[in-house]
Amino acid sequence: MATSEAEQGRFEGPVLGTPGDFPDRPQRRGRFVVHGVIAILCAVLAGGWGYIMWAAKGDTEVISQVVAFDLARPDHVQITFEVVKSADRAARCRLHAMDVNHIEVGGRDVDIPAGEGYVRLTERIETSAQATSSDVEYCYLV
């Protein structure tokens, strides 16, 4: 009895055949187009997300840093902070004091006039309760 090569386990070659075995199958030329469209879509989405993250960060033209704060009194806080900005523009900074539960117990806006690019200020913030920390919430050019 004659057995085929496949029955004897000696068949060599692809199990599902080669592209030449299926002449009626259409050529796959659209794969490049699909991959190109996906790549463009990913680039647009990544660029959009990058823009959203950049825009959400806010105006980075004003840099503020807290140097020190004094919490000795229950009715006010003294905060010393530095601001770096364009010398020809004025800025407004929002200072706030918080209690142990991170609830704001005092705050005020400070206007910094044009004329100097680096300013170091000490300001007093009136509080409604004992503060445990104080910070510059934000600064922006006006």
Residue 83 corresponds to which amino acid?
A: V
Tell me the Cα Rg of the chain.
34
Instruction: Please state which architecture CATH assigns to domain 63-141.
Output: Sandwich (2.60)
Per-residue pLDDT of the chain (142 residues; tens, 9 = 90+): 555 555 566 667 667 777 677 777 666 667 778 888 999 999 999 999 988 887 776 556 788 888 888 888 889 999 999 999 888 888 899 999 999 999 999 999 999 888 888 999 999 999 999 999 999 998 888 8
List the domain boundaries for the chain. 27-57, 63-141
Task: Give per-residue burial for 61-83: e unless 16+ CB within 10 Å, then b.
Answer: ebebeeeebebeeeeebebebeb
CA–CA dist 10, 30 (Å, integer)? 37
Determine the Cα angle at 30 with ends 28 and 33, to 5°.
Answer: 145
